[in-house]
Chain A
Amino acid sequence: MKKQKALIIIKPDAVQRGLSGTITKRFEQVGLTIIGLKFQKADSKTVIAHYPSTDVWFEKVGQRTLKNCAAKGVDPKVVFKTADAVSIGKIVKGWLITYFQESPVLIMAVEGYECIEIIRKISGNTIPVLAAPGTIRGDFSHDSIDLANEAMRPLRNAIHASDAVDDGEKEVALWFSPSELFSYERADEKIMFP
């Protein structure tokens, strides 16, 4: 079996709470290898490219927001000055970018067998209030869609973690140049995978 790569980003809420090391530990403990690491303010071009910029994606995000507005009895026109899903999707992307750049972030490339599945499992639901105890989001946050919508901001969910095999490769390539990635064997590698 071939190893997979994934991108992990410790986001500004976790960085500002001093949780970078504590969260990084979780990925190391489970047996994944950190093959790239850097701490810096996310560059605008990279963050913009990190989230899709297709109308399909904007529409999906906008529709989700509209649905939330309807459920809460909020008039989207008051909040967003529009009820058009694509336009709302674009506004939400702007919020995501602002959040990402609120402080420097810890960007890591990790590698391991079935890495994507493992990091999904230990990261927990992307909506912290729904994330199970024992997961990173479940243990370190409890933000919810309602709270986020009320304050007109994106969910603060501590980490970004690639959640599909293709995304893992693509995101690592977006955030890291080949010279920033390293290959080495963990001291316990052969014990875990003889």
Chain B
Amino acid sequence: MKTERTLLIIKPDAVKRALIGTIIETFERPGLKLMAAKMLQPAADVIKNHYPGTSEWISEMGNKTLASFAQSGTDVQKVMGTKDPAKLGQFVYDRLIKYWQEGPIVAMVFEGPNAVAVARKLRGHTIPALAEPGTLHAMYSSDSSTVSSALDRVVKTFVHASGSTEEAEREIKYWFKGEKFESYTRETDSLYLV
């Protein structure tokens, strides 16, 4: 049976809301196996390098911001002072780092068949206001870009989940550099994995 690993991060607002257990439970319940976890409070640099940070990536973030402004019918020029995707992207990037630094975070690795897709599904849409009912982002937040931009901050996407197996591999190496994951048996293994 081919299993894969994914990276999940519980961000500061969820830690302060005492949702650590609830979030771990959400991923444990379908049988994903907790392989690693640690609480940490990373420096700005460490958070910055979690993201690809290339100019393409920054512009893409800017374009996403433009799209969400268009969707909500808000004038991006008026709120953000620019319509340039690169500038908007950089602005969001800086605010993201600020958000991640609001308190300690919990980085985790979960393992299982299709772990990346399973975890993304349970996390739900990146923007809580758009997340499907029953997903973590929908059940524990209703934050949106309209609210966040009015308050001069990013949307608080309180659970990070790797978007693809390649991203997961890179992110796990990044957050758990050189750490060994001990294998063990979950109660569900004998029912589904043999």
* Residue among A12, A15, A39, A186 with most chain B CB within 10 A: A39
CB-based contact B24/A24 at 8 Å: yes
- Across the interface, do B21 and A25 meet the contact criterion of CB distance under 8 Å? yes
Chain B residues whose CB sits within 8 angstroms of the CB of A21 once the complex forms: 20-29
A20 x B184 contact (CB < 8 A): no
In the complex, the answer to whether B18 meets A186 with C-beta atoms within 8 Å is: yes
CB of A187 closer than 8 Å to a CB of B: yes
Q: A124-160: contact bitstring with B at CB < 8 Å (1 yes, 0 no)? A: 0000000000000000000000000000000000000
Q: Which A residues touch B27, using CB under 8 A?
A: 21
Whether A37 touches B38, Cβ cut-off 8 Å, given contacts A16-B186, A182-B104, is yes
Nearest A residue to B19 via CB reads: A28
Contact-residue bracket for chain A: 35 or more
Please determine whether A184 and B104 come into contact, CB atoms closer than 8 angstroms: yes
Is B103 interfacial (CB-CB < 8 Å)? yes
Complex Cα–Cα for A187 and B184 (A): 35
Whether A25 contacts B25 by the Cβ 8 Å rule is: yes
Q: Is B148 an interface residue (CB 8 A)?
A: no
Q: What is the distance, in angstroms, from A172's C-beta to the closest C-beta of chain B?
A: 13
Q: When the two chains form their complex, are residues A20 and B28 in contact, meaning their CB atoms are under 8 A apart?
A: yes
- Residue pair B28, A18 in contact (C-beta under 8 Å): yes
Q: Is B108 an interface residue (CB 8 A)?
A: yes
Encode contact with B along A27-64: 1 for CB under 8 Å, 0 otherwise. 11101011111111100000000000000000000000
B106 within 8 Å of A (CB atoms): yes
A-B contact count (CB 8 A): 107
Q: How far is the CA of A102 from the CA of B187 in the complex (A)?
A: 14
Q: Is the CB of B20 within 8 A of A24?
A: yes
**Do residues A106 and B104 form an inter-chain contact, with CB atoms below 8 A?**
no
Contact of A182 among B13, B20, B39 (CB under 8 A): B39
Which residues on A sit within 8 Å (CB–CB) of B25? 20-22, 24-25
B contact residues, range? 35 or more
Across the interface, which residues of B come within 8 angstroms of A184, CB to CB?
12, 15-16, 103-104
Report chain B residues within 8 Å CB of A33. 18
Query: Which residue of A12, A27, A37, A188 is within 8 Å of B39 (Cβ)?
Result: A37
Of listed A22, A35, A104, A180, residue having the most chain B CB within 10 A = A104
Cβ of B187 and Cβ of A40 under 8 Å apart? no
Tell me whether A20 and B16 are in contact in the complex, defined as CB-CB below 8 angstroms, given that A36-B39, A106-B34, A182-B104 are known contacts: no
Given contacts A16-B186, A182-B104, contact A22 B38 (CB under 8 A): no
Question: Is A2 on the interface with B (CB-CB < 8 A)?
Answer: no
What CA separation (Å) do A45 and B16 show in the bound complex?
33
Q: Contacts A104-B184, A180-B39, A182-B41; is A18 near B18 (CB within 8 Å)? A: no
Q: Knowing A38-B38, A103-B182, A106-B37 are in contact, say whether A18-B188 is a contact too (CB < 8 A).
A: yes
The verdict on A3 contacting chain B, using a C-beta distance below 8 Å, is no
- Cβ < 8 Å to A, chain B residues 95-126: 103-104, 106, 108
Residue numbers of B with Cβ under 8 A of A are 12-13, 15-29, 31, 34-41, 103-104, 106, 108, 182, 184-188
**B-contacting residues of A (Cβ < 8 Å)?**
12, 15-29, 31, 33-41, 102-104, 106, 180, 182, 184-188
Q: Can you list the 6 inter-chain pairs with the closest CB atoms, starting with the nearest?
A: A21-B25, A25-B21, A21-B24, A24-B21, A103-B184, A28-B18
Q: A20-B25, A40-B36, A104-B182 are in contact. List 17 more A-B contacts (CB 8 A).
A: A15-B184, A16-B187, A18-B28, A18-B186, A20-B28, A20-B34, A24-B24, A28-B19, A28-B21, A29-B21, A31-B18, A34-B15, A35-B39, A37-B37, A39-B37, A102-B184, A182-B104
